[in-house]
Amino acid sequence: MKILVTGAVGFIGSHTAERLHSLGHEVIGVDNFSDYYSLTLKNLNAKALTSKGISIIKQDLREDNLSTVLPTDVDYIFHFAAQPGISSTSTFEDYFTNNIIATKHLIDYALKCNNLKLFVNIGTSSIYGLEATFPESIAPKPASHYGVTKLAAEQLVLQKSREEKFKSCSLRLYSVIGPRERPEKMYTKLIDLGLKDEAFPLFEGSDTHLRSFTYVGDIVDGVVSVIGNEAKVDGEIINLGTEVEHTTQEGIEAVEQVLGKKIKINVIAKRAGDQLRTKANIDKARKLLNYNPQTTLLDAVKYQVAWFKENFK
């Protein structure tokens, strides 16, 4: 199969592109190489992909007429590209253009792909709001510009299933961790600052927040399992993550255990829109995709520490 992966040099997109390639598919990666975070990491990911024979096209999806740049004979689209997370440095326009306008342009491109079997939108548990413990049928209550715009993007994609223009689904991911995690995310920052013996900035009260910290390999298992299940997943929203909850404090302690040292903590002001609890309800994923994440938090941290030391220490 010929598969297009957007956001291919990002964290989860790069892992998915590699997995799809290992399964024998022809993978074309697309990324705009945004400087939202270090291009060093993105270039490192890109090098890993191209070394395996995965082609990377540098393209901003906010630009129209994508069919003149991207191949139109693809069988699947996995859409990871987005303005990620909750950040004080990102404007509403950043979220709006990268998450909504870019998705609309990609949909317009997909409509010109005559062989398209499935458009897979990558959503987020942030769509649910401050508490993300629900089945997919619950009404979403996003509490951030990120969550709001990702919900809009999701609905734009699923609209095409309702119109019977092409088959589509949306996968809502939960608190993904592991090698290649972005530099500003919790575990990469904990590892980096822990090794440097510098203080980790902890948002006030977040030590008790509960998260479904899910290893990226377990997420990719669920993502790629939609292939061959187009009829089952068409028009569906599906949660992917672990049902096991850990507090932020337990996450810190896991990193301390692997590093063999105590991490200094600097408590800072609360962050608006931050989720209080995420626990993936994956009953639907189990039923439709036989999804069964297995990696423990401690093992996930071990893999991430090993990757960080190999590439950045």
Supply the CATH number for residue 75's domain: 3.40.50.720
Does a structural domain hold residue 202? yes
Does a structural domain hold residue 179? no
Does a structural domain hold residue 70? yes
For the purposes of burial, counting CB atoms within 10 Å of the CB of 112, is it exposed (0-12), middle (13-18) or buried (19 or more)?
exposed
Does a structural domain hold residue 195? yes
**Is residue 271 located within the same domain as residue 227?**
no
3-state helix, strand, coil in the chain (%, to 5): 40, 20, 40
CB 14 within 8 A of CB 49: yes
**Is residue 11 located within the same domain as residue 145?**
yes
**Is residue 233 located within the same domain as residue 304?**
no
Give residue 266's pLDDT: 86
**Is residue 203 located within the same domain as residue 120?**
no
pLDDT tens-digit map of 10-29: 999 999 999 999 999 999 99
**Is residue 191 located within the same domain as residue 133?**
no
Give residue 270's pLDDT: 73
Does a structural domain hold residue 92? yes
**Is residue 79 located within the same domain as residue 144?**
yes
Does a structural domain hold residue 268? yes
Give residue 42's pLDDT: 96
Does a structural domain hold residue 181? no
**Is residue 143 located within the same domain as residue 252?**
no
Retrieve residue 111's tokens: 């409509």
What whole-number percentage of the chain has pLDDT above 90?
88
User: Rounded CA gap, 141 and 151, in Å?
Assistant: 10
Tokens 């082609």, located at residue = 55
Specify the DSSP element, H or E, that contains 280. none
**Is residue 273 located within the same domain as residue 125?**
no
* Overall average pLDDT of the 129-134 stretch: 92
Is 80 exceeded by the pLDDT of residue 282? yes
> How many of the other CB atoms lie within 10 Å of CB of 184?
14
pLDDT tens-digit map of 191-226: 999 999 999 998 888 888 889 999 999 999 999 999
Retrieve residue 54's tokens: 């995965």
- Angle at which helix 248-259 crosses helix 186-196, to 10 degrees, equals 40
Q: Which amino acid is at 170?
A: S
**Is residue 162 located within the same domain as residue 205?**
no
**Is residue 126 located within the same domain as residue 35?**
yes
**Is residue 223 located within the same domain as residue 274?**
no
Q: How many domains does the chain have?
A: 2
Closest by Cα among 1, 51, 56 to 33: 56
Closest by Cα among 202, 239, 191, 215 to 293: 215
Tokens 């400087």, located at residue = 35
Residue 127: pLDDT band with limits 50, 70, 90: very high
- Residue predicted with more confidence, 275 or 271: 275
DSSP state, 96? I
Residues 6+ apart with CB under 8 A from 248: 186, 202, 206, 207, 208, 209, 211
Give residue 313's pLDDT: 66
- We report the CATH number of the domain holding residue 198 as 3.90.25.10
Q: Which amino acid is at 192?
A: D
Q: Report, as residue numbers or ranges, the catalytic residues.
A: 146
- Which residue range(s) make up the domain with 270? 186-209+244-279+297-312
**Is residue 112 located within the same domain as residue 73?**
yes
pLDDT tens-digit map of 59-118: 999 999 999 999 999 999 999 999 988 777 889 999 999 999 999 999 999 999 999 999
Q: For 221, phi and psi rounded to 5 degrees? A: -55, -45
Does a structural domain hold residue 180? no
Is 80 exceeded by the pLDDT of residue 271? no
